Structure formats: structure tokens, C-alpha cells
Structure 1
Amino acid sequence: MAMNFKVLKDQESVATYTADVLRKQFNNNPTTIAGIHLSHEFAPVLDELKKDVDRHAVDFSQINVLDYDNNRSFYHALGVPEGQIYELSFDDDAENLISEKIKTKENKGKLITQVCSITHEGKTDVSVRNGLMKAREVFLVITGSDKKEAVQKLYQENGKTSYEPADLKTHRMVNVILDEAAAEGLPDDVREYFTYRFA
């Protein structure tokens, strides 16, 4: 399946949009299991998430977070119970962890959302195979002109190469959230379409 691109003006717009999507996910599905790994991203997604939650309260009592960036104190302060925050590394298998430690009758042990960033070389913060492909929906947050070549490669590759993030094109639901600087890596007509459509 094709990736869905959304081009927004700048890092702040990307952070606000992503935070809103996350808060709505947590609010609409109170047993969400979500992986968050934004260590290579400068858009202040977590800051915006905190502001959003302060404005619109969310019940985090049954939310589980796969924390790839060691932000335990942030999620705890947000309201996620201490025992429902799990630190993972790049190669850890998210599905195995969920099966062993999180699966309940309510959440059915499904990884709902993965939010991640990429480096300027195009590498993800988490294994595509062991983490991202298992999620029901993936959000790639990419900002900055230093990532435009990675975006270009991500767009051009067909998912059958050694460029691992391109493998996500076989995933059923991938949303790539870009600022205008990172979107310079897209062909002009594609960039204009996704800017116009989603502006």
C-alpha cells in the first residue's frame, strides 16, 4: 500500500498535529498500546501532547506505552501508570513484549500505534520488522531540510530494497507527517498535492 503524506508548514505545526492525533487515539481507545520513539526528531511532539492533554483531559489508567526514548517520567507525569510504561531498545520485539506483559482481555494485545522519526540518513528509531510492521497504524514524523534526501529515498524506493524504512510501503496504514523543509525531498507535484490537500 502507498504511504499517506501530509505536508504542514513547520516543526511546530507537525508537533501540534501529531500530538492531536495521539491524544485523540488515547481518548477514543482507552486501552491503547502505543510505541513512541522520536529521538531523531526536533518537532516538540511530547511538549504539544502535554499541552493538549492539559486542555482536554485523557484517562491514561489503561494506556500502555512502549517507551523507546527513556521518557518514563514524562509518561508517568502525563498519567500513565508506572507499571504500564515499558522501555524497549531498537531490536526488541514489540509483539513478544506485549504478549508476555501487556495482553489483556480489554486490549487483546494489539499494538495500535507506533510514532517514530528517522535520522537524516533515513534510519528509523525502531526495527521495522520487530516494531513498526506489527502496529495497526504507523506515524513517521519527519522535519528539517537535512532529511529531505531521506524523504526522497523513502518516496522512491519500492519496498523491496535494503533501505529498511521503504519496507513500510507494504504496511496497511502509514502516515508520513512532514514539514515543508523535509517535504522538499518529494517531487514538486506530489509535494504540492499533499500541501494543498492537507493545508
Structure 2
Amino acid sequence: MFVVFSNAHAIADYLTDHIAQQIRTKPTTSLGLATGSTMEPIYARLLQRIQAEALDLSQITTFNLDEYIGLAPDHPQSYFYFMQHHLFAAVGLQPGQVHLPCGVCSDAEQECQDYAAKLARVGGLDIQLLGIGSNGHIGFNEPGTPFDSRTHVVALSEKTRRDNGRFFERFEDVPTHAITMGIAEILSAKEIFLVATGRHKADIMARLYESGIDEQLPASALKQHAHLRVLVDEAAAELLPTHVKTVV
């Protein structure tokens, strides 16, 4: 389950190869995307590959995991802005191809229902990329989230808000709520890649390895998935037992 790479760039190369081959094989591929610093080298390498090979993206669709409530799409810390900056604009994806929850909709609960319906219509994403929070959250599914959850509004934990506070000028500016894809929707993907890089992720990787399937550790739900790969660099793998690591 755990695959260890020398560094984050090696993980990016591996994932880029896989995603590019998936798109060539199935031009109508649906991709589940994540945001955050872990994803930046992945999207940078994917962008290079798309441009170098003139990969046809005209039929793909993308679905992002989450969005902050209260941030407009043009806010520099919104996840829509992140995706536009790191991938969407540069590869020319059209508005109808990309899907993110709306952070400034008038009815957040209705937005959740609408987003869940869009996900249901694709019948499960082909590939889902995930990062992991220091408390084990995936998407913004905080500890205690039911594993059968679908797209919902979540109150962000103090730990998550402090972890994400480095992206905002003041802690007070960090949103308190978000809309997130649910765990059941994440698990419906055909393939899941959980990526963790850096020594600061070593503790949660060890906890994930040691844990049973427990709603207090949202990422442990992934252990039920038949096609899960956990991709870590050497720093994030530091506390994992040697015998569980496949090194490439």
C-alpha cells in the first residue's frame, strides 16, 4: 500500500505518467483533484507533460474535493483560484469541464446536493488524488465524519484552521466552514492516490499504518479500497516499518 519515492518530484513524475496514460486510454476520463502545497509539484509536472505531448484534454472532466465557504473564486486563497493558477488556465480547460463546490452560493446545503448529483452522474471518478491533513482528514472530512457521507458542509477544526493559517495574513481570515466531497464519494473512485511529502507528515503516516478502520481517522476509510496507493517521499516514510514500504 505504501510506495516510497526519493522526493516529491519523483512522485510527481510517477503520477504524471499514470494520468497521461489514463487520458490517452480513456479520453473521457474524470479526475478527482486536490489542492495544497503537496499537489503543486504534481500539477507543475503534469502541465509540462500536457504541453510537451499536446495531450488532448477536450473530453476530460475534473471534480475538486472542496472549497472554503465565504471565498469567491477570484480570492487568492480559494481553491478555484489555486486550480486556475496551477493547472486549468494553462491547459485551456473550459468552464463546463471543471467542477468545484461554490463557496459563495446563497444556499450551501443545496449546493452540496447539486454537487453530489454531478458526482453521481459520472458514476465514480476514474482517478482521485488526495492529500492528508495532520489530523488524518481527507478533503475536509474531519475526524468523526461518517464513512457513508456525501458532499456536505463541514465546520473546520481548530487544528485544520491553524494548519491552513500559513496561507492567510491573519488567523482570523481563515474560513471556519467549507463544502467537501464526502468519504463515500471519495471511495467510489476507481483508483485512489494518497500523497504525503515532508517530515511533518511522518507522524500521520505512521498513525495511518497502525490504525484500524476508524471514523476518528478519516483517511483510514481508504484501507477498504481495492485500488489505493499511498505515495510518500523518504521524509514522510521515516516512521513506517521497513517491511511495509515498497521503494521505487
1:117 to 131, 141, 147: 131
> What is the aligned partner in structure 1 of residue 63 from structure 2?
66
Distance 1:81 1:143, change over 3 A: same
1:98 to 108, 119, 131: 119
SS at match of 2:3: strand
> What is the aligned partner in structure 2 of residue 26 from structure 1?
23
Gaps of 5+ in 2: 66-78, 104-108, 142-181
**In 1, Cα distance between equivalents of 2:201 and 2:40:** 13
> What is the aligned partner in structure 1 of residue 236 from structure 2?
182
1:126: how far off?
4.7
User: AA paired with 2:54?
Assistant: A
Distance 1:154 1:145, change over 3 A: same
> What is the aligned partner in structure 1 of residue 145 from structure 2?
none
> What is the aligned partner in structure 2 of residue 54 from structure 1?
51
**In 2, Cα distance between equivalents of 1:77 and 1:97:** 25
Query: Superposition RMSD on alpha carbons, in Å?
Result: 2.4
Distance 1:133 1:187, change over 3 A: same
Gaps of 5+ in 1: none
User: AA paired with 1:152?
Assistant: A
Distance 1:124 1:151, change over 3 A: same
TM-score normalised per structure 2: 0.67
User: AA paired with 2:117?
Assistant: N
CA contact (8 A) 1:35 1:115 kept: yes
> What is the aligned partner in structure 2 of residue 82 from structure 1?
95
**In 2, Cα distance between equivalents of 1:66 and 1:10:** 27
CA contact (8 A) 2:119 2:185 kept: no
Q: Please list the CA deviations of residues 164-192 of structure 1 after superposition, one character each: whole Å capped at 9, or x if unmatched.
A: 1001111121111110000113112323x
CA contact (8 A) 2:23 2:29 kept: yes
1:113: how far off?
1.0
Q: Which protein is bigger by CA-based radius of gyration?
A: 2
CA contact (8 A) 1:34 1:66 kept: yes
> What is the aligned partner in structure 2 of residue 133 from structure 1?
187
User: AA paired with 2:26?
Assistant: N
User: AA paired with 2:25?
Assistant: N
**In 1, Cα distance between equivalents of 2:123 and 2:207:** 33
CA contact (8 A) 1:40 1:125 kept: no
Q: What is the identity percentage for the equivalent residue pairs of Structure 1 and Structure 2? A: 27
**In 1, Cα distance between equivalents of 2:94 and 2:15:** 22
1:41 to 38, 42, 56: 38
Aligned length: 184
> What is the aligned partner in structure 1 of residue 197 from structure 2?
143
**In 1, Cα distance between equivalents of 2:7 and 2:217:** 26
